[in-house]
Amino acid sequence: MTDRERPEFGVIGGSGFYRFLDAAVQHEVNTPYGPPSAPVTIGSVQTDTGPRAVAFLPRHGHRHEFPPHRVNFRANLWALRSLGVRQVIGPCAAGSLNPELAPGSLVVPDQLVDRTTSRVQTYFDTGACHVDFADPYCPRLRRDVVERMRPAGGGVVDGGTMVVIEGPRFSTRAESRWYSGLGWSLVNMTGHPEAVLARELGLCYTAVALVTDLDAGLTEGAGVSQSEVFAVFAEHSERLRLLLQVVVGSLSPERDCPCTRVHDDMTLPFELP
């Protein structure tokens, strides 16, 4: 792979988001953590100066083979970095904990709460390596994505807390009301450990959440159903795909952010790809 073909940017697609680029080439990638969810595809988006190489990986596999608690997050992020990716956007489906965030809303959260229970959430199995995670998303990339989505017709909501639950079940009404009462905006099943693993690899990372439903505690009657979530995401997936193509094509490759300095004063227990 030449330097021109090496992708600086990567997109990890969520439920219902299994394709991003046309005329893309698949790359099988081996990692120390096993295979990623699918072969990484590399294609291009247009910029003012010509085509830009971009990598894409469907988080759950091409046929949604992997439920949230079985996604090999470590392999996914490692595979992207080994191909040259340094900036990652993670679109995902999320339930709304705020009645003002209706299905179809796009939210770029600025905070995350981990309520998962059984996931491997670090590359640092030995040694003393503790990364700063006070702000779980790259502040520069998050800001740039918001600024570029708005003029592109994204109608994006800037900020909010996304609580990540273990899954694969949806929340009870009591859990949903608890999360909402704490002022959190979104509930999701895949945002963690993806964000912290990206930070440990020194990658810039931000999530973009597509609201698919009002969570169980916000409404009376039937709770959240899988068919409802998938139907709403399918309705908006092409809009999100095209919007992110425009956004990725306009982002700067320059990384003047804390993500590039996350390993300062650390001795890593492995060599970064």
Catalytic residues: 213, 215
Q: How many whole angstroms separate alpha carbon 212 and alpha carbon 222?
A: 15
Q: How many whole angstroms separate alpha carbon 229 and alpha carbon 213?
A: 6
Closest CA to 257 of 199, 210, 172, 174: 199
Question: At 188, which helix (H) or strand (E)?
Answer: strand 186-188
Q: How many whole angstroms separate alpha carbon 229 and alpha carbon 161?
A: 20
Q: How many whole angstroms separate alpha carbon 234 and alpha carbon 230?
A: 6
**Residue 203 in contact with residue 77, Cβ under 8 Å?**
yes
